[in-house]
């Protein structure tokens, strides 16, 4: 083994991951029926616009100010989309609700229920500074006919109240006192510490890794084995790859690779919610299927983030920045320290293993495939440019494989992660998606089907 960038092992791992992923779909690993397929309008035929509008409102509220971080933001959008989905299915049926609640649905307007469910959930968790949400609530309701409006509002509020009660005490924002990342001198090799200057940082949302999941049995349900040993060839390969291609002043990273690295700096819950809204519109889904797709995207995404953060704070593995600067203590002769090494962009303030974007993208890729009943997803995903996290461009992904390959590469090219950390994150996200979608969001009448052990060993 040499110190040069090694890619053939990573290519083989990605090919194996993609082949297994395709096999899982062929075997019906999702265990659910698609709510909408290409150019299909469900029998109900109701416009999804109110669902789309209130998803936009939810994302904007979570974006703040104050903005919620990438992973924790999915928790807040999940609360809102769970309430919307439950209100919709309470009135329209078609799919099994996330959580059952009592409400009189006679004559209830499903549109009013969506508005009330989203609004009441968001205000509870985020407040309403400046009454921006109240103004949107009033404006939405003013567009609806009076017939069934009051009954619909009651159903939506009942759905919101039920989610709030069900999720009370779930660990959101719990105080975690362990001084993560604070080691400054004589730190053990491999231990995550803040990149300089450490005094200006705090650990990002450690509570997320201890939070009660929305659907999983525990945050650690799919916790993978540890990262590679520091003395191993696998670690040295990944070290030398990110050192060369992820550096701020890299001479081997191409302009296209830099653009891809920048693209995936985008805010993840903003990014994927817009992608799912666009998918809903492109595939002519009605209101019920739209509510289901957005609930799937956000609840599965939130659980993948919770499971990811469990691994991050369990293993506390160092990021490339500190690993490369301190390679003289890792005991591996194939890694050479560079005390001034800097990644393309500023290293996030949470551990390397697993990659958050890898976990969430692994999960969302499989939600796309489940909603569309194909791995040939053909979706456009919005992203960022020039190191800013605003959505200013988009990229097209023909297949799940293409999407997963790119997220793995992107997080290495930006200098944030070792390749294996992103690959393991992708696998965890897929496991979370397969397991949860085999048990939730199923069509009515299909909820008692034999689910076997699908997803327990990771599906694809």
- Per residue in 259-269, pLDDT (tens digit) is 999 999 999 99
Predicted confidence at residue 198, as pLDDT, reads: 63
Residue 11 has pLDDT above 50, yes or no: no
Predicted confidence at residue 191, as pLDDT, reads: 97
CA distance 404 to 227: 20
Residue 216 has pLDDT above 90, yes or no: yes
Q: H or E element: which one contains 394?
A: strand 393-397
Determine the 3-state secondary structure of 132 from DSSP. helix
CA distance 2 to 4: 6
Whose CA is closest to 304, among 250, 366, 254? 366
The average pLDDT across 220-233 equals: 98
CA distance 400 to 141: 39
Predicted confidence at residue 323, as pLDDT, reads: 98
Residues 241, 7: contact at Cβ < 8 Å? Answer: yes
Q: How far lies 72's CA from each of 170, 209, 216, 310, 415, in Å?
A: 13, 10, 17, 13, 22
Whose CA is closest to 279, among 392, 113, 394, 388? 394
CA distance 425 to 418: 11
Q: H or E element: which one contains 363?
A: helix 356-372
DSSP symbol at 347? P
Residue 2 has pLDDT above 80, yes or no: no
CA distance 83 to 36: 21
Residue 7 has pLDDT above 50, yes or no: no
Which of these ranges, 143-157, 185-199, 356-370, 388-402, has the smallest mean pLDDT? Answer: 185-199
Q: How far lies 199's CA from each of 28, 72, 193, 203, 350, in Å?
A: 50, 23, 11, 11, 14
Per residue in 87-120, pLDDT tens? 999 999 999 999 999 999 999 999 999 999 999 9
Q: H or E element: which one contains 379?
A: strand 379-383
DSSP states of 178-242: S-TT---SSPPTTB--PPSPGGG---S-GGGGGSPPSSSS-TTTT---PPPPTTSHHHHHHHHHH
DSSP states of 31-73: -S--S--TT---TT----HHHHHHHHHHHHHHH-SSPPPHHHH
CA distance 38 to 14: 28
Q: How far lies 130's CA from each of 63, 65, 423, in Å?
A: 15, 11, 43
Residue 45, judged by CB atoms within 10 A of its CB (0-12, 13-18, 19+), counts as: exposed
Residue 345 has pLDDT above 70, yes or no: yes
Determine the 3-state secondary structure of 308 from DSSP. helix
- Residue 448: pLDDT band (50, 70, 90) is low
- Residue 184: pLDDT band (50, 70, 90) is confident
At which residue do the structure tokens 């959101």 appear?
172
CA distance 265 to 389: 5
Q: For residue 450, how many other CB atoms are within 10 A of its CB?
A: 6
Residue 16 has pLDDT above 50, yes or no: no
The average pLDDT across 39-47 equals: 53
**Cis previous bond, 354, omega within 30:** yes
State the pTM of this model.
Answer: 0.89
Residue 378 has pLDDT above 50, yes or no: yes
For the chain, give the longest Cα–Cα distance: 75
Residue 451, judged by CB atoms within 10 A of its CB (0-12, 13-18, 19+), counts as: middle
């Amino acid at each position: 083994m040499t110190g040069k960038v090694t890619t053939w092992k990573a290519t083989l791992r990605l090919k194996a991951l993609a082949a297994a992923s395709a096999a899982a779909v062929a075997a019906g690993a999702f265990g659910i029926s698609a709510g909408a397929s290409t150019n299909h309008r469900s029998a109900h035929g109701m416009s999804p616009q109110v669902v789309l509008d209130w998803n936009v409102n939810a994302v904007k509220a979570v974006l703040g100010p104050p903005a919620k971080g990438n992973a924790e933001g999915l928790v807040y959008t999940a609360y809102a989309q769970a309430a919307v989905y439950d209100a919709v299915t309470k009135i329209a049926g078609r799919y099994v609700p996330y959580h059952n609640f009592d409400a009189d649905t006679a004559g209830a307007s499903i549109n009013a229920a969506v508005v009330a469910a989203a609004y009441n959930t968001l205000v509870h968790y985020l407040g309403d500074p400046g009454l921006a949400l109240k103004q949107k609530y009033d404006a939405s309701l003013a567009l609806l006919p009076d017939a069934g409006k009051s009954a619909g509002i009651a159903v939506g509020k009942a759905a919101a109240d039920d989610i709030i009660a069900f999720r009370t005490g779930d660990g959101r924002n719990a105080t975690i006192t362990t001084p993560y990342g604070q080691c400054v001198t004589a730190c053990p090799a491999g231990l995550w510490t803040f990149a300089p200057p450490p005094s200006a940082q705090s650990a990002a949302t450690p509570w997320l890794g201890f939070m009660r999941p929305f659907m999983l049995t525990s945050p650690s349900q799919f916790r993978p084995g540890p990262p590679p040993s520091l003395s191993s060839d696998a670690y040295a390969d990944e070290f030398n790859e990110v050192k060369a291609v992820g550096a701020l002043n890299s001479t081997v990273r191409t302009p296209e690779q830099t653009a891809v690295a920048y693209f995936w700096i985008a805010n993840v819950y903003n990014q994927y919610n817009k992608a799912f809204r666009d998918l809903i519109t492109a595939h002519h889904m009605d209101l019920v299927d739209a509510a289901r797709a957005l609930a799937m995207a956000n609840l599965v995404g939130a659980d993948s983030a919770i499971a990811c953060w469990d691994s991050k704070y369990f293993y506390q593995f160092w990021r490339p920045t500190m690993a490369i600067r301190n390679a003289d203590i890792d005991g591996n002769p194939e890694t050479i320290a560079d005390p001034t090494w800097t990644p393309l962009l500023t290293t996030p303030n949470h551990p390397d293993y697993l990659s958050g974007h890898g976990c969430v993208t692994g999960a969302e890729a499989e939600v796309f495939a489940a909603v569309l009943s194909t791995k040939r997803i053909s979706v456009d995903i919005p992203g960022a440019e020039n190191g800013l996290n605003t959505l200013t461009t988009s990229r097209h992904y023909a297949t799940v494989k293409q999407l997963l390959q790119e997220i793995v590469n992107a997080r290495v090219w930006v200098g944030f992660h070792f390749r294996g950390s992103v690959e393991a994150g992708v696998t965890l996200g897929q496991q979370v998606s397969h397991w949860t979608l085999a048990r939730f969001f199923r069509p009515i009448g299909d909820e008692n089907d034999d689910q076997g052990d699908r997803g327990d060993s990771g599906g694809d």
